[in-house]
Amino acid sequence: MPKRGLDVSSCEIFRFYKLITTKSLIEPVSMIVPRRSESYQEDIYPPTAGAQPSLTAREWLNGMNKEPVLVSLRPGSELLSPRPLPPERPLLKPVVPASPQLFNQTEKLVAKDGRRPFSLLEEKAPRWAAEHKLEEKKTWLTNGFDIFECPPPKTENELLQMFYRQQEEIRRLRELVTQREVQAKQLELEIKNLKMSSEWF
């Protein structure tokens, strides 16, 4: 665990977590330095990495490298290498139209594939927003089934039916893979025979 989560009043220097599978328990195991004083012990708690990142994502992508932001484990202490926090800003910027004419335009256009209509405002929206929408839509698909079209089974009987259906589908797919492997081997042999016969002539 991170050092900033240690109990400095009991001189704890490490904490491990032991899994007891027979009882389904997690037992914390503390490594404690025996000290008589209950006050903060500076010699066993050097400054450690804090929770605040030292780089922003943009700085990291630009190739910058910085040391971690250090914190003292002394209770009530501040950051040792503080960095001014960037001003808070919204995650998504609203799409502002370039002109009032574009904003008032409600005429719908048909997409190139002819499937769904979209407005000019949507056309001017950033491309990543559209990709993000597609990703969100994909998250609702599990094992190729749409959750809303095929809800999960509610009774044990329905669950068994779905299980047997999937077992049958797996069996058919395995047979298909075996057939394809046999066909591939036959084609390889035919190619080999053709090469051999062409070498003789």
81: left (phi over 0), alpha (psi -120 to 50) or beta: beta
Residue 54 confidence (pLDDT): 85
> CB count, 10 Å around CB of 94?
5
What tens digit of pLDDT does each residue of 76-97 get? 555 554 454 444 445 455 555 4
Q: How many angstroms separate the CA atoms of 182 and 135, rounded?
A: 38
What tens digit of pLDDT does each residue of 153-172 get? 788 888 889 889 999 999 99
Could you state, in order of their start, the residue ranges of all structural domains in the chain?
A: 3-71, 146-201
Q: Which of 101, 94, 93, 97 is nearest to 121 (CA)?
A: 97
Q: How many angstroms separate the CA atoms of 110 and 113, rounded?
A: 8
More confident call, 93 vs 43: 43
Is 54 within 8 Å of 68 (Cβ atoms)?
yes
Q: CA angle at residue 130 from 125 to 134, to 5 degrees?
A: 170
Mean pLDDT of 125-152: 53
pLDDT at 128 over 90: no
Residue 199 confidence (pLDDT): 76
Element (DSSP H or E) covering residue 61: helix 57-61
Residue 78 confidence (pLDDT): 55
Q: How many angstroms separate the CA atoms of 124 and 113, rounded?
A: 18
E-strand stretches of the chain: 12-20, 25-32, 48-49, 70-71, 109-110, 117-118, 141-142, 145-146
Q: How many angstroms separate the CA atoms of 32 and 7, rounded?
A: 9
Supply 72's token pair.
């003292």
Residue 149 confidence (pLDDT): 61
